Amino acid sequence: MAFSYRYSKMAEAMRPSPIRELFKMTQRPGMISFAGGLPDPAIFPIEEFSGCAEVLRAQGAVALQYGASEGHRPLVDEVRRRMEPLLGRPIASDEVMISSGSQQVTDMLARVLLDPGDVVVVEAPTYPGALHAFRCARARFATVACDEDGMNVELLPEVIERCRRETGRVPKLIYTIINFSNPSGACLSEARRRTLADIGREAGIPVLEDDPYGELRYRGQRIPTLFSITDGGVVFASSFSKILAPGVRVAWAVGDAELIRKMVIAKQGMDMCTSVVAQVLVTEYCRRGFLDAHLGKIRSHYAGKAHAMAAALREHLPSAIRFAEPSGGFFFWLEVGGDSRQLFQRAVNEGVAFLPGPAFFPEPAETVGNTVDGNPYARLCFTFAQGPEIVEGARRLARALERG
Ligand code: PMP
């Protein structure tokens, strides 16, 4: 007889990541994938990174040992050095921690801030991995609509008030992807950043500023980080995943020392420490100056790909399909109309994959207040597919649209 497991409420609340599930489908031979948010493997710095492995001869005793939960100190210092200009002030070492991907930052923060039933404010659309982490903490969501300037923060006071009225609780956290959002590609404007900072401070709600794409700007001026225009209450998170390689699973968080300490304690129960081998290699990669050189290279490489996809979509898709060419990051966000899940099935039959919109919105049952229907949208990643595939993928998508 099969064993009968009695699952936790947390396990019951979990859903398989739509991205990771669809990922399997995109592995079929001949499939052109705009689905996963993957960097271009053709531009991984394999030579430079393998060269850095020499450092293991000198530092093997440290690299192969358990490390501090806060992170490998030379990497913490490297992150401080890189972050200070962006965060607008000197950063102390106890304000930084290294994590196993920035996904873990969201998870740690959910563990230390959220009780079951607490509300997290998210922009709609938002990153499904963050929804997943908050769901595991059995949180509910309140959504704020977005436009081309990111979260419509002018609506935030009303959303907070509605939460207070309907749940008796003030939201515990605001989650936002300020630059080149996954999935919308939008950047939060500077004026909105200032408004968000004021509202967060006044309402006593901390903000998670998730910024894995900030360094991947292909056009226009950098906008000051939320962290740099506040004096506390913001956790800034970023990652080596998009700027170096996601396989290293090394990321970081910067925030108030007291909160970082709590997150470090949470991490001790998760994985004790991020792989020290990975941290030593990443430190050496930065120390040799490779990261800055690589950033220049990937910015122009990805700018070309974004442009190629915009041209291909303009040429092949019906003009009713609306999208903006992103000025950074990894994604196009298309208003395809109709049901993007059905479109997905037809697209896969044509040999091209993307992510249907509903994955990027919380469901009505877990949301306080309004939800947005994600069905008419689709996310296309432009970084992973190779040049000719971008054009062919757009053609196949156009055929799938015609069959609708
Ligand atoms: N936040 C956002 C907005 C992302 O798009 C991603 C990766 N897709 C992550 C966090 C997680 O990245 P990682 O754990 O690889 O650092």
Q: Is residue 356 lining ligand 1, measured as CB closer than 6 Å?
A: no
Residue 287: the pLDDT is: 97
Distance (Å) from CA 252 to ligand 1 centroid: 11
Distance (Å) from CA 238 to ligand 1 centroid: 8
Q: Which CATH number applies to 10-45+292-402? A: 3.90.1150.10
In the chain, which stretches have pLDDT less than 70?
A: 18-21
Distance (Å) from CA 211 to ligand 1 centroid: 9
Residue 305: the pLDDT is: 98
Residue 370: the pLDDT is: 85
Residue 372: the pLDDT is: 87
Residue 136: the pLDDT is: 93
Q: Is residue 127 lining ligand 1, measured as CB closer than 6 Å?
A: yes
Distance (Å) from CA 94 to ligand 1 centroid: 23
pTM of the model: 0.96
β-pairing, 173-176 with 251-254? unpaired
Q: Which of 210, 331, 381 to mutate to test the pocket of ligand 1 (most atoms within 8 A of CB)?
A: 210
For residue 322, the cross-strand partners are 335
Q: Which of 151, 182, 243, 267 to mutate to test the pocket of ligand 1 (most atoms within 8 A of CB)?
A: 182
Distance (Å) from CA 212 to ligand 1 centroid: 6
Q: Is residue 241 lining ligand 1, measured as CB closer than 6 Å?
A: yes
Domain boundaries, the chain: 10-45+292-402, 55-288
Fold of domain 55-288: Aspartate Aminotransferase; domain 2 (3.40.640)
